[in-house]
Amino acid sequence: MNWFLTDSRYLRLASFTIFYIGQGIPIGLISIALPIWLAAQEVSGVDIALFVSITGLPWGLKLFAGPIMDRYTFLAMGRRRPWIIAAQTGLVLAMLGLALVPDPVNNFTVLTVMAFCVNCFAAVQDVAIDGMAIDVLPEDEHGQANAFMAFGQVAGFALSGALSATALVMFGLLGAGLISAGFTVFVFFWGVFVRERRGEKIMPWTGGKASASLEALQAKNWSEIFINLGRTLILPASLMLIFVSLCLSVASGVSGVAVTLIAIQDLGYDSADFSYLISACSFVAALLSLALGPLIDQYGAKRFLMIGLIGNGLGLLLAGVFTDLWSNIYFCIAFIVIGAFLSQCTFISFIALHMKVCWLKVAATQFAIYMAWSNLGKSIGAGLYSQIKPGLYQGQEFILIGVLSLIGAAVLVLVNMRDHKQRIEKLDVDGGIADAVRV
């Protein structure tokens, strides 16, 4: 099978959609279906919170995988593909191990450990797929590819969450684990047969060799990675995007908690109905946002991120000022639907823009740091809201995060991508002082 990512646009779009569906599978099982099932089994809220907290740790710690991937790989099979195959192998085995946990409610520690292992391999897979995307996607495909990737992840966790929830009720953990492992096996075989570049090996024992361009990019030692990483992270565009990311992620962390609490506790929505509404809106928004990809590539990720930040900011200010409208069901639905679409627009353009600022020499590490920083910001936002909520009047939380989004948009105006590209090109020409370092 002669399928090479660098040769076919359609293969790239299909592959990254499938890979992101694969990323959604463990999210649906571990983060959606299992906590709900545990609650139905009358496991205490404290234990469920502990389960969610522990099993979510690998997603925040995935930045440690980036340097390892930039330092070590088997180039004859591609720069990132060996890591994807290895992570998917571990993911299948971990899911099978999770499925075999006997009497999971009474073996809660074992269940938590196995779920933690599942997410460890899922996080490694995430870093490897993102690194591959940066390596093989041309700049004029970043927007469209990220639209498909975002849709794939939403479709993956929505499908996995629904099927796993049903399987847990009908067949228990064994059925849910086997179904999830089965879907992951399909993604595994896709990763086996789809290669990055012509001439590479399918597997270690088949014919093929590494390309000269990959050998030139591969870091020879740890000093080279961290010196080059430091040189690109301190570029002006990178520093400003780190600040924009903090504004966006803190606002997201606050709104994620605030919207749920207000809907359930203040407005009296049924929790199941509200969950279905959020899921449906997210899926429809992801589907509609597929049309944004070509537009982002044509007009620029920065412009669409600006639209997302300003749109979200103004919408949140509107909700914060006109609190009397909260009792109007049509206003609430419009707020959720428009917010979901703007969030998808923001997410797609946010990822595409961060891909553009990465230097290929340290792309996996650099991108993982950006994403880990974003995850940290969401945690900060959620924790901040828990502290300030008692002192807020109704609607003030939305005014606060609306202003924060607009501050992020104001800083984004200063980001000069043309200047950043020239600086990266200069780093490539200079070779970097790190290339002379050997340990």
- What DSSP line would sit under 45-108, residue for residue? HHHHHHHHHHHTHHHHSGGGHHHHHHH---GGG-SSHHHHHHHHHHHHHHHHHHHT-SSTTTTH
Per-residue pLDDT, 92: 94
Task: Look at 65-79, 124-138, 193-207, 211-225 and tell me which has the smallest mean pLDDT.
Answer: 211-225
Per-residue pLDDT, 225: 79
Q: How far is CA 408 from the centre of its chain?
A: 20
Give Dmax over CA atoms of the chain in angstroms.
68
Q: Which residue blocks in 389-439 are alpha helix, DSSP H? A: 396-412, 417-430
62 vs 419, which has greater pLDDT?
Answer: 419
Mean pLDDT of 311-335: 85
- Confidence check: pLDDT of 243 > 90: yes
Task: Look at 116-130, 216-230, 291-305 and tell me which has the smallest mean pLDDT.
Answer: 216-230
Report residue 366's pLDDT band, with 50, 70 and 90 as the boundaries. Answer: confident
Task: Specify whether the CB–CB gap between 329 and 277 falls below 8 A.
Answer: no
Per-residue pLDDT, 96: 94
Report residue 131's pLDDT band, with 50, 70 and 90 as the boundaries. Answer: confident
Per-residue pLDDT, 410: 94
Distance CA(298)–CA(305), nearest Å, equals: 14
Which tens digit of pLDDT belongs to each residue from 159-207?
Answer: 887 788 788 888 888 998 999 999 899 999 998 889 888 888 888 888 8
- Confidence check: pLDDT of 435 > 60: no
Per-residue pLDDT, 15: 92
- Look up the CATH architecture of domain 226-430: Up-down Bundle (1.20)
Which superfamily is assigned to 3-218 in CATH?
A: MFS general substrate transporter like domains (1.20.1250.20)
Q: What share of the chain is helix, strand, coil (3-state, %, to 5)?
A: 85, 0, 15
Beta bridge partners of 327: none
Residues in the chain: 439
pLDDT > 70: what percent of the chain? 90
Which tens digit of pLDDT belongs to each residue from 275-317?
Answer: 567 667 777 877 887 888 888 888 888 999 999 999 999 988 9
Nearest Cα to Cα of residue 147 among 359, 295, 340: 295
Residues of the chain with CATH 1.20.1250.20: 3-218, 226-430
- Confidence check: pLDDT of 423 > 80: yes
Per-residue pLDDT, 300: 83
Per-residue pLDDT, 222: 78
Per-residue pLDDT, 2: 65
Per-residue pLDDT, 271: 53
* CB neighbour burial string for 162-174, b if at least 16 within 10 angstroms, e if fewer: ebbbebbeeeebb
Mean pLDDT of 378-403: 79
Determine which helix (DSSP H) or strand (DSSP E) holds 4, and give its type and residue range.
strand 3-4
What burial class does residue 109 get, using C-beta atoms within 10 Å of its C-beta: 0-12 exposed, 13-18 middle, 19+ buried?
A: exposed
- Confidence check: pLDDT of 264 > 90: no
Question: Whole-prediction pTM value?
Answer: 0.77
- Confidence check: pLDDT of 434 > 60: no
> Would you tell me how many other CB atoms lie within 10 Å of the CB of residue 389?
14
Nearest Cα to Cα of residue 218 among 391, 77, 46, 50: 77
- Confidence check: pLDDT of 218 > 80: no
Report residue 439's pLDDT band, with 50, 70 and 90 as the boundaries. Answer: very low
Task: Specify whether the CB–CB gap between 148 and 290 falls below 8 A.
Answer: yes
Q: What mean pLDDT, rounded, does the chain reach?
A: 82
Mean pLDDT of 121-129: 90
| Angle, in degrees to the nearest 10, between helices 363-388 and 108-136 | 130
Report residue 46's pLDDT band, with 50, 70 and 90 as the boundaries. Answer: low
415 vs 374, which has greater pLDDT?
Answer: 415
Highest mean pLDDT among 234-243, 322-331, 337-346: 234-243
